[in-house]
Structure 1
Amino acid sequence: MPSFTRLFSGISNAVKQEPSHSLPTRPNDPYHTDTINKANPLAGLKLSIQIESPPLMLYGPPEHSSGAIFSGLVILDVFPDQIGQLQNEGIASSQSIQSTISLSTAVTSIRQNYAEVREVALSFIQIIDYGKPFIAGSTTIDSCGECRRKITELAHWDVLSRPTGFVKGSSHAFPFSHLVPGTLPATSVLSNSLTSIRYELVCKARFINKQGRPDHINIALPVMIRRSILRGQDRNSLRVFPPTEVTATAVIPNVAYPKSTFPVEIRMDNVCSPERRWRMRKLNWKLEEIIRVRANHCDNHQAKYATTVENTKRAHRGKKPHKNCGGPGKPVYNYYFEHPPRRQTTEENEDPSDVTAQNTSPTASPDLVPVASTWSVQAGSEGLAPQASQQSTPQMTPSLSTVASNDLQPRQTTTETPLYVEEIRVIKSGELKSGWKSDFSNKGRIEIVADISLMDLISMGLNVSLTNLSAINSLNCESPIFSLEPQSGVNCACDIEDHETGIFVHHNLVLEVIVAEELMHATNVQPIRSTPSSAYLSTITNAPTQTGTSSQNRPGATHHSTNAKHNDGGTGPDHVSGNRSDPLNHTTGIPTGVARVLRMQFRLVLTERSGLGVAWDDEVPPTYHTVGALSPPPYDDVNSMPSQPSLVIPLDSSDQLDQLDQVVLPEPARLH
């Protein structure tokens, strides 16, 4: 009976444990072994990686970025051996007697004082883990480790490619450098911790341990790559909401950062007519994150992948893709079966009309175009019913256009049909119920400055401990700071556009202004200034309804000569008196029960902070004259130096092994 109790308790504990998100080590993974980042007490040597370059920051969009310089040192420290030092002194004192010793005895004696290292390799790799929902809908592909992980080698260094003996107590360094391309995606976590993009610097060393057996050391240093789009001028956008005459002008910054707050200026004109007006009730905003990932598969499951793509295409045939999600915690998914077009950069001397024509071409991606729409809400209705929708022709960034180009299509090794899974979710939302200014004189104007708070957003670039990580060795590699798994606290990703890996991330800022219709009803409130109210009413009633009216049609233009400089189309307050005496500002509005939702959507670039904002190719390196005493030494002194015995002996040639009995072993250097 107690055995059954322990059995059920063990099963319950196993069920309560949280499932591990880490993938098992693949059998054909040449970079990660079972002893990754684990200390080896029998090694007799220490392998270290030191990064000398600053944190990797890619400035500008992928098509303009010059990359970043990545450099450092691979250091091999061989521990001293007291017994080997005593034998070394004995061999050095009786060198003449050792001339008759056989070759095998000499080799054994040398290897007692040298550490044999057979191979040292350094690789800079990119690791992309695929998880739900960005995997093909197949249990076979979901359970395959090769389909859920894609490893790409970006750079490789053969530090040591043949067996070599290193004297015990010595230290050896190997410098490496690499220009990281500016087209690489930044280190990110997509949607959840199961899908991520990360980079590692992996070093593997094969040697003979203290017991005389082949052994190896495998260490991996996480490398953080960030991208920053430099802050530029704010962008202005004009939206029209038919069938009404209301127009909205929005001013938003060109970039936004996680853990920040930025203002959005909104001005709505033509909100008032002689008979009715629109009064603002509330402003809702949300930041949507759109992630599109190309499903991955291994070579063994290529046929299964093709079958899954056909089944998915058949299941979603005839369905319209979602443009927006349902709200916080309600993501929606779309499926695409063709490669997205690349964005082509327009030249500075190009005609702006050509850019507009490109933006309105049928090849433009509809989900990247900002739209404006009006939604009607009747009195007593529970939901929102769409009444009219119109896509605005100009984009927020007219210098970039989404057009297809034959020579810029991504290089594909096969002609199979791709499967792109797109997720649209809300990462931040809020609302404002006060804080705007309304003026119902002339054609009326409503102004508001909304503060969009992104303080709850956390990206991988905010991980300071991982960003400043610059050294690792085979003794402290078991520290939790070198954990290779992505953090689960990340809840957003910065903008990514990578056609090679098929990963795209962008963000949309959606603004919804709720306005209610009111009928005008005059009251007995007298104006502040002694101006005949009938003159005001007659002037406004007889004013033309078109937008482009002159400043002479405005009441008060004859009273102030400076009003001729204030031509805003007959809307808004007077720049001197503020239209406080306008009778329309002292009328009572009777709600009619009709409301509208004025919806605006803008493309917002989410990026990391730039720091100093200077790329490596814009820096000015110092000259030898400015360095002074720290300048490199002259090379003429190298030939005059006395010859020193070598600390490194190759062990892969028999001709070199014949001369081992003539080698004078130097005194091992001390490790600092």
Structure 2
Amino acid sequence: MADSRAITPGPETHKGHRHRHGNHHPHAQYRLSFPGMHFGRSNKEPLQASPAMLDWKLESPPLIMYGEPQRSSGALLSGQLFLSVKEDSLEVESLKASLHVRVTQKRPFATHCGDCAVQRTELKRWELLQQPLVMVKGEHFFPFSVLLDGHLPATMDNQLVSISYEFKAEAIPTHSSALMAPIKLERTLDVRRSLPTSETPHHSVRVFPPTNIKASAHYPHAIHPIGTYTLALRLDGIAKLNAKVNTVEYWKLKKLTWKLEETTKTIAPACARHTPKLGEAVATAEDQSSRKGVIRSESRIIGEKTLFSGWKSNYTSSTDSNVEVELDYNLAKNAKYACDSKSRDGTEVSHQLVVEMVVSQEWAPVDKPSLVTHTGVGRILRMHFATVLTERGGIGISWDNEAPPIYQDVPPSPPAYCQCQETAFMLPSATGSITDLADEPTLSDGPVSYSRAGESPSGC
């Protein structure tokens, strides 16, 4: 008969079970190995620190172009490039630097095309090392200079276009240092333009028909980004006598608003791939220009203010009534602006001061001027004054007009040398006596030997 008793396994049974079937514990750890795959950098190739560092120092004054682009002599850029070697020695294969002007169209011809959005033009390239060179530890200097032409645009960044000047330098170690990445330096330059200004205020007179209102304004034609400027405004012809009903009609100033408006125009060029989309048949000159790109234009307000009081009114009579006001205007505190410019690629920035006045018509009897009655008639008087926004010129002297340094106690001409008569020079001899050299032979007579005192010299 079979035995139905349960057999309790001993320790040996569990040990043999684990030996045959392995360890099936739920918390057992497994390690997977993928010999053909490498995650990240191997320990055999550690990331090396850069053996050198590039930096620069500009020696020229701020880059300011004076005058109109057609007449400007440009700006001079000069400086030194520093290569600081941290190790005992470093062999550099090449050291190059370049200066580019980068134009970024924020509304390009083709929306998702990088070539239509960004155009780079190389202005200068420097080969600072003609051949590989081993450099010791320390700083090494490499001078560079370039003359920026006067027709180049100034640095700007607005809603349509961005213009920047990029300086790039790169030092490449030799191939023996395969793990060393190229040493790079990237900097941007701020190029500005200063246009000529006039100290005499500009005078402008405007008439607003069908009314008799005449506005006379005095204002500066050129302004700067930092500063406050004044526009003196006078309104005449604001009163009129109506003899039929024996009343006087007035135009009362109720509201005055000034705005500084900036207008940007640019041509978004088309790259080589998108140029044919403008059409193959080009007949007129206008079509020829349109093939170069699409004209973009946009305006924005860089400063404004509204006044409801602050002017002087005089309504004493129908013939001698006027309103006088002085407006203080400037750019907004955090306004993003671009100075006036006009470049060859079609980018143009201009400014104007806009003044809007709201006037309402009232009337009163001639003998009772205090009994004012509103007619309900109103008008908006708008004036536009062309304004030039430009950077301050500093000393206002371009690089080609700078005078050389003047030193003190220096006569205007070299010193004059007089013809001195031939004299005899007396030199002491070896024994202390005086030897007369007036009768000595010249060097052309051959070598000369000098004897003791009392003996005459003789030629050898």
Q: Does 1:226 align with 2:9?
A: no
Post-superposition Cα deviations, 1:4-58, rounded to whole Å, max 9, x if no partner, equal xxxxxxxxxxxxxxxxxxxxxxxxxxxxxxxxxxxx9554233332211122112
Paired AA for residue 516 in structure 1: S
Q: 2:395 aligns with which of 612, 617, 621?
A: 612
Partner of 1:129: 104
Distance 1:271 1:159 in 2: 72
Structure 1 residues 169 and 289 mapped into 2: Cα distance closer, same or farther (>3 Å)?
same
Structure 1 residues 443 and 338 mapped into 2: Cα distance closer, same or farther (>3 Å)?
farther
Distance 1:261 1:199 in 2: 30
Distance 1:417 1:57 in 2: 30
Partner of 1:520: 364
Paired AA for residue 619 in structure 1: E
Partner of 1:27: none
Q: Does 1:118 align with 2:87?
A: no
CA contact (8 A) 2:260 2:331 kept: no
Q: Does 1:589 align with 2:372?
A: yes
Distance 1:145 1:507 in 2: 30
CA contact (8 A) 2:92 2:135 kept: no
Q: TM-score if structure 1 supplies the norm length?
A: 0.49
Q: TM-score if structure 2 supplies the norm length?
A: 0.70
Paired AA for residue 247 in structure 1: K
Task: Give the SS at the match of 1:146.
Answer: helix
CA contact (8 A) 2:302 2:332 kept: no
Task: Give the SS at the match of 1:222.
Answer: strand
Post-superposition Cα deviations, 1:435-478, rounded to whole Å, max 9, x if no partner, equal 111223324221111111323244xxxxxxxxxxxxxxxxxxxx
Paired AA for residue 229 in structure 2: F
Partner of 2:251: 278
Trace 1:250-265 onto structure 2 (pairs within 5 A). Answer: 250-265=217-232
Distance 1:206 1:503 in 2: 37
Q: Which runs of 5+ in 1 are unaligned?
A: 1-39, 82-113, 311-336, 340-411, 459-490, 525-585, 628-672
Distance 2:270 2:292 in 1: 12
Post-superposition Cα deviations, 1:331-379, rounded to whole Å, max 9, x if no partner, equal xxxxxx959xxxxxxxxxxxxxxxxxxxxxxxxxxxxxxxxxxxxxxxx
Q: 2:69 aligns with which of 42, 53, 62?
A: 62
Question: Superposition RMSD on alpha carbons, in Å?
Answer: 2.9
Q: Does 1:146 align with 2:112?
A: no
Trace 1:210-359 onto structure 2 (pairs within 5 A). Answer: 211-212=177-178, 215-232=181-198, 233-275=200-242, 276-304=249-277, 306=278, 338=286
Distance 1:274 1:517 in 2: 13
Q: Does 1:201 align with 2:167?
A: yes
Q: Does 1:502 align with 2:379?
A: no
CA contact (8 A) 2:252 2:359 kept: yes
CA contact (8 A) 1:123 1:201 kept: yes
Distance 2:227 2:61 in 1: 24
Structure 1 residues 62 and 417 mapped into 2: Cα distance closer, same or farther (>3 Å)?
closer
CA contact (8 A) 1:293 1:421 kept: yes
Q: Displacement, 1:501?
A: 2.2
Q: Displacement, 1:420?
A: 0.7
CA contact (8 A) 2:66 2:398 kept: yes
Q: Displacement, 1:248?
A: 0.8
Paired AA for residue 104 in structure 2: D
Paired AA for residue 116 in structure 1: E
Distance 1:246 1:603 in 2: 21
Partner of 1:175: 143
Q: 1:47 aligns with which of 27, 43, 54?
A: 54
Post-superposition Cα deviations, 1:128-173, rounded to whole Å, max 9, x if no partner, equal 1111xx322xxxx2212222111111112121243x2224225432
Post-superposition Cα deviations, 1:196-215, rounded to whole Å, max 9, x if no partner, equal 11111111222227744574
CA contact (8 A) 1:42 1:210 kept: no
Structure 1 residues 425 and 308 mapped into 2: Cα distance closer, same or farther (>3 Å)?
farther
Paired AA for residue 289 in structure 1: E
Distance 2:135 2:194 in 1: 46
CA contact (8 A) 2:52 2:183 kept: no
Q: Displacement, 1:508?
A: 1.7
Partner of 1:103: none
Structure 1 residues 626 and 419 mapped into 2: Cα distance closer, same or farther (>3 Å)?
farther
CA contact (8 A) 2:53 2:183 kept: no
Distance 2:149 2:179 in 1: 41
Task: Give the SS at the match of 1:273.
Answer: strand
Paired AA for residue 188 in structure 2: P
Partner of 2:432: none
Distance 1:220 1:259 in 2: 30
CA contact (8 A) 1:44 1:209 kept: no
Q: Displacement, 1:308?
A: 12
CA contact (8 A) 1:338 1:419 kept: no
Partner of 2:128: 159
Structure 1 residues 596 and 613 mapped into 2: Cα distance closer, same or farther (>3 Å)?
same
Q: Which runs of 5+ in 2 are unaligned?
A: 1-46, 243-248, 411-460
Structure 1 residues 510 and 308 mapped into 2: Cα distance closer, same or farther (>3 Å)?
farther
Q: Does 1:448 align with 2:448?
A: no
Paired AA for residue 355 in structure 2: L
Partner of 1:402: none
Structure 1 residues 591 and 605 mapped into 2: Cα distance closer, same or farther (>3 Å)?
same
Distance 1:220 1:448 in 2: 51
Structure 1 residues 308 and 196 mapped into 2: Cα distance closer, same or farther (>3 Å)?
farther
Structure 1 residues 626 and 231 mapped into 2: Cα distance closer, same or farther (>3 Å)?
farther
Moved more, 47-56 or 604-613: 604-613
The structure showing larger relative contact order (alpha-carbon pairs under 8 Å, at least 6 residues apart) is 1
Partner of 1:77: 84
Query: Is the strand fraction higher in 1 or 2?
Result: 2
Task: Give the SS at the match of 2:80.
Answer: strand
Post-superposition Cα deviations, 1:41-93, rounded to whole Å, max 9, x if no partner, equal 55423333221112211223323332221100123333342xxxxxxxxxxxx
Paired AA for residue 512 in structure 1: E
Task: Give the SS at the match of 2:395.
Answer: coil
Partner of 1:437: 312
Q: 1:190 aligns with which of 149, 152, 158?
A: 158
Structure 1 residues 249 and 272 mapped into 2: Cα distance closer, same or farther (>3 Å)?
same
Q: Number of matched residues?
A: 353
CA contact (8 A) 1:126 1:153 kept: yes
Partner of 2:246: none
CA contact (8 A) 1:260 1:455 kept: no
Distance 1:295 1:157 in 2: 30
Paired AA for residue 508 in structure 1: Q
Task: Give the SS at the match of 2:115.
Answer: coil
